[in-house]
Structure 1
Amino acid sequence: MTNIPHSDSQIMTVTCAVVTVSDTRSESTDKSGQLIQQLLRDAHHKVGAYTIIKDEPAQIQTELEQLGKNSDLDAVIFNGGTGIAPRDTTYDAIEKLLEKTLPGFGELFRFLSYQEIGSRAIASRAVAGVYQSKLIFSVPGSSNAVRLAMEKLILPELSHLVSLLR
């Protein structure tokens, strides 16, 4: 059995928004947001928007609603706020707006995380789905989690999933 995704018939450049959800990070300290952008560019995708917002449900939902109206974007990748601490509200804010969910994303992310960090992976509420015909991912804010999600799940399937939505 192989775990290599099927090859897409065409190479597609996907335009993504990157949103860091954090009460403390700034552009200069946002290593995870910078990593997502770099990995997207390295894979020949485009970063169409980048922002850092506070971990406030209304602000997260407003950001997603605004990005959903941007016809130049194909996908939005949120990082941060996916745990269970009182200030971790990204999952709760985003999940309510998703029109379709991709349960396999969270399941696989936690499985892969478990292989790296053990049972602490159960605290991750990584989620993915569709909103306004855009692919939405929400991953933990640690650089290790971002790298895992991007390299093992998001980048291998990004073009294929976006092509399904077009």
Structure 2
Amino acid sequence: MSRIDETLPFIPVRIAVLTVSDTRQSGDDKSGDTLVARLTEAGHSLAARTIVRDERAEIAVQLRNWCADPDIDVILSTGGTGLTGRDVTVEAHRDVYEKEIEAFATVFTMVSMQKIGTSAVQSRATGGVANGTYLFALPGSTGACRDAWDEILKWQLDYRHRPCNFVEIMPRLDEHQRRK
């Protein structure tokens, strides 16, 4: 079973929050606010935050820019993971990923099933890695953001989490780029 090893130090990571929406603005971005509150309460730092329209190319450009920023370790996006025609966040993420973290979607679905039952099938939450940066695309609802953070990301982004976590392998995410 997973646990926190209190003998290890907490290592804060730098997290960027991207809200994908045609209608949200900074004053009414509740899902973005939820993620910022959760990550800062956990001891991590907010590295950047912005809102972009539901446009695949714009989302991918923002993700790539943040992946190229050495001061950003993790990107959390919220919104655009559903099934409607304007929901293109997942496609934009996959345009950027070097590797997809398939199990993130599976675990998120398991968590969602406990909260919203079979409606969980409507989410296309995803995770991946690009340029040594973790990226996670979360649904736009505050409840889904809360669940993803509280049940998955809070633990995987804590270096003390055992038996393993994302932070401990972070230095090796881009090792393929250093090989000759």
TM-score, with structure 1 as normaliser: 0.95
Deviation sequence 1:95-122 (CA, Å, 0-9, x none): 1221111111110101111111111111
Residues 1:33 and 2:14 aligned together: no
Cross-structure match for 2:64: 65
Cross-structure match for 1:100: 99
Q: Which runs of 4+ in 1 moved over 2 A?
A: 4-10
**Identity of paired residues, percent?**
35
* Deviation (angstroms), 1:163: 2.6
Question: Letter of the aligned partner of 2:119 in structure 1?
Answer: R
The 5 Å alignment of 1:117-136 reads: 117-136=116-135
* Deviation (angstroms), 1:6: 5.4
Cross-structure match for 1:7: 5
CA distance in 2, matches of 1:163, 1:32: 27
Secondary structure in structure 2 of the residue aligned to 1:28: helix
5+ residue gaps, structure 1: none
Q: Is the contact made by 1:81 and 1:88 (CA closer than 8 Å) also made in structure 2?
A: yes
Report the count of equivalent residues. 164
Q: Is the contact made by 1:74 and 1:162 (CA closer than 8 Å) also made in structure 2?
A: no
5+ residue gaps, structure 2: 159-164, 172-180
Deviation sequence 1:58-79 (CA, Å, 0-9, x none): 0000001110111011100000
* Deviation (angstroms), 1:50: 0.3
TM-score, with structure 2 as normaliser: 0.87
Q: Is the contact made by 1:134 and 1:162 (CA closer than 8 Å) also made in structure 2?
A: no
RMSD: 1.2
Residues 1:91 and 2:90 aligned together: yes
Structure with the greater alpha carbon radius of gyration: 2
